[in-house]
């Protein structure tokens, strides 16, 4: 068993891929990785950390061909008070990094988590009295506050005390893992605009400048990114890729076509490279598709309740967002190949495993039942058929220098004047280009 501190800080990791400004121009790998929460603990895993469980999971992840794991530092577990970063959590994080290294994987820690699976997870000190108008419930100190509660999240983009706390977390986490061979990059948040929105672009720029500088100073210059999602393109949430790209080494985008009203159906895989291409066009930085996937029908009914071409069958009794495992195979194969052909840095599957039924009555699975079934693995540890796609695609080459000729007549700085309308229009143009490429290829 790997333990904290047993790694060689000077070791070069064989399968590590430098990102963004640090990209190795000779590296030809398209990176396949997975987002991770343990099947039996989900968002509660840091509270009862089990190194043996993590090692078992990481070995399965490596065995099917994934190169890395994105992990999430739940804010309350890592920073129970604004002036305190939990030593125990930092030790457990170092242990996770050591386990990843022993398994031939790298990790990408996501700080300030934050929004996750339809719930905003917050330490108690991040809440203040107010009338909630948010879309998402808040989980804090063991309690779920619904969307009509009398508490709101402090605006961490501008609140000086919160910014000091965030900078402390950046310094402590980066110092703990400084020089660790398993660290690919640091992610400054997961769909953070679902928790709070900057008042303006300059506020967002100031925040990114501080956080990126602190991480780089304490991590020997490790790459930094930020987990944007499609709604950051559909709406002007003051998080422009143009601004984020000034400070981050590469950009990230999350995409789920069944949530997008303008996609060509719920399993429209082509929308994923489009979202990445728009992000790259706006931000002028390489892009990683950091989240994508579909939830599948539980195995017991998978062979008896189909859902092709639409939302899930009601036979599951859980959610309208469920599809057959065979649909997932087709969706993943198309998505990975299209993302690679569009020149994305890589693709991170959502997510490692379905969740154990013991968790279904707990947030977020009690609030969003389809979140129980996004896994590449079932909750009993057996791989779903989509694992074959990961194996097939694990050695894909990386394509670079893909252009944005479909957007050459548009000004990136005018995109957010009417973002959703522009997305719809540009997607129509993007599909026309795609059809033209197939025609020229004789297909």
Domains of the chain with bracketed CATH: 27-440 (3.20.20.80)
Who wins on pLDDT, 343 or 308?
A: 343
pLDDT at 406: 81
β-pairing, 115-116 vs 119-121, is antiparallel
pLDDT at 229: 98
pLDDT at 436: 52
Residue 128 has pLDDT above 90, yes or no: yes
pLDDT in tens, 240-253: 999 999 999 999 99
pLDDT in tens, 171-229: 999 999 999 999 999 999 999 999 999 999 999 999 999 999 999 999 999 999 999 99
Residue 381 has pLDDT above 60, yes or no: yes
**Confidence label for 108 from pLDDT (cuts 50, 70 and 90):** very high
pLDDT at 399: 83
Closest-CA residue to 109 (of 7, 262, 226, 214): 226
Mean pLDDT confidence for 74-99: 98
β-pairing, 127-129 vs 151-153, is antiparallel
Residue 127 has pLDDT above 90, yes or no: yes
pLDDT at 302: 44
pLDDT at 311: 40
Mean pLDDT confidence for 270-299: 96
pLDDT at 316: 40
- The Cα–Cα gap between 205 and 240 comes to 9
pLDDT in tens, 291-342: 999 999 986 544 333 333 334 433 344 557 899 999 999 999 999 999 999 9
pLDDT at 376: 98
- The Cα–Cα gap between 273 and 96 comes to 31
- The Cα–Cα gap between 266 and 263 comes to 7
Evaluate the CA torsion angle 94, 97, 103, 104 in order and state its sign: negative
Mean pLDDT confidence for 60-85: 98
pLDDT at 250: 97
- Which own/partner pairs from 404-413 qualify as long-range (CB within 8 Å, at least 24 positions apart)? 404/277, 404/280, 404/281, 405/433, 406/277, 406/430, 406/432, 406/433, 407/277, 407/278, 407/281, 412/242, 412/281, 412/282, 413/242
Who wins on pLDDT, 135 or 270?
A: 270
How far, in Å, are 13, 106, 117, 213 from residue 9 at the CA level? 10, 14, 34, 22
pLDDT at 370: 95
- The Cα–Cα gap between 157 and 84 comes to 19
pLDDT at 76: 97
Sorted by sequence, the CB contacts under 8 Å of residue 317 that are 6+ apart come out as: none
Backbone φ, ψ for residue 322 (5° rounding): -145, 140
- The Cα–Cα gap between 83 and 89 comes to 15
**Mean pLDDT score of the chain, rounded to an integer?**
89
Cα 206–chain centre separation: 23
pLDDT at 434: 72
Mean pLDDT confidence for 263-290: 97
pLDDT at 19: 55
């Amino acid at each position: 068993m790997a333990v904290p501190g047993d790694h060689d800080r000077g070791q070069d990791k064989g399968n590590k891929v430098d990102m963004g400004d640090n990209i190795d121009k000779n590296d030809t790998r398209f990176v396949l990785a997975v987002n991770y929460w343990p099947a039996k603990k989900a968002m509660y895993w840091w509270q009862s950390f089990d190194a043996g469980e993590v090692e078992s999971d990481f070995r399965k992840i490596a065995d099917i061909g994934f190169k890395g794991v994105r992990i999430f530092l739940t804010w309350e577990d890592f920073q129970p008070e604004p002036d305190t970063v939990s030593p125990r959590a930092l030790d457990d994080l170092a242990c996770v990094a050591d386990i990843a290294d022993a398994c031939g994987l790298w990790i990408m820690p996501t700080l300030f988590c934050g929004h996750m699976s339809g719930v905003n997870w917050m330490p108690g000190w991040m809440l203040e009295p107010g009338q909630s108008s948010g879309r998402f419930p808040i989980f804090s100190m063991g309690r779920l506050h619904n969307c009509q509660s009398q508490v709101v999240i402090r605006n961490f983009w501008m609140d000086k005390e919160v910014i000091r706390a965030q900078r402390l977390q950046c310094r402590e986490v980066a110092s703990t893992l400084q020089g660790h061979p398993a660290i690919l990059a640091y992610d400054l948040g997961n769909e953070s605009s679902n928790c709070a929105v900057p008042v303006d672009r300059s506020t967002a720029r100031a925040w990114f400048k501080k956080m990126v500088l602190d991480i780089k100073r304490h991590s020997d210059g490790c790459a930094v990114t930020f987990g944007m999602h499609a709604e950051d393109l559909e709406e002007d949430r003051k998080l422009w890729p143009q601004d984020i790209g000034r400070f981050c080494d590469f950009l990230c985008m999350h995409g789920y076509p069944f949530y997008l009203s303008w996609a060509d159906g719920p399993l429209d895989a082509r929308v994923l490279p489009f979202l990445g291409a728009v992000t790259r066009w706006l931000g002028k930085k390489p892009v990683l598709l950091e989240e994508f996937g579909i939830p599948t029908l539980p195995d017991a009914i998978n062979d008896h309740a189909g859902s092709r071409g639409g939302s899930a069958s009601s036979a599951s009794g859980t959610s309208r967002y469920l599809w057959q495992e065979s649909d997932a195979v087709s969706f993943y194969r198309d998505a990975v190949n299209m993302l690679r052909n569009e020149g994305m840095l890589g693709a991170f599957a959502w997510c490692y495993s379905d969740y154990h039924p013991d968790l279904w009555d707990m947030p977020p699975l009690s609030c969003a039942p389809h979140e129980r079934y996004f896994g590449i693995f079932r909750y009993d540890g057996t791989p779903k058929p989509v694992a074959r796609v990961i194996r097939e695609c694990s050695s894909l080459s990386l394509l670079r220098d893909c252009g944005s000729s479909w957007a050459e007549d548009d000004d990136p700085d005018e995109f957010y004047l009417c973002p959703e309308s522009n997305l719809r229009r540009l997607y129509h143009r993007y599909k026309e280009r795609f059809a033209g490429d197939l025609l020229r290829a004789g297909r």
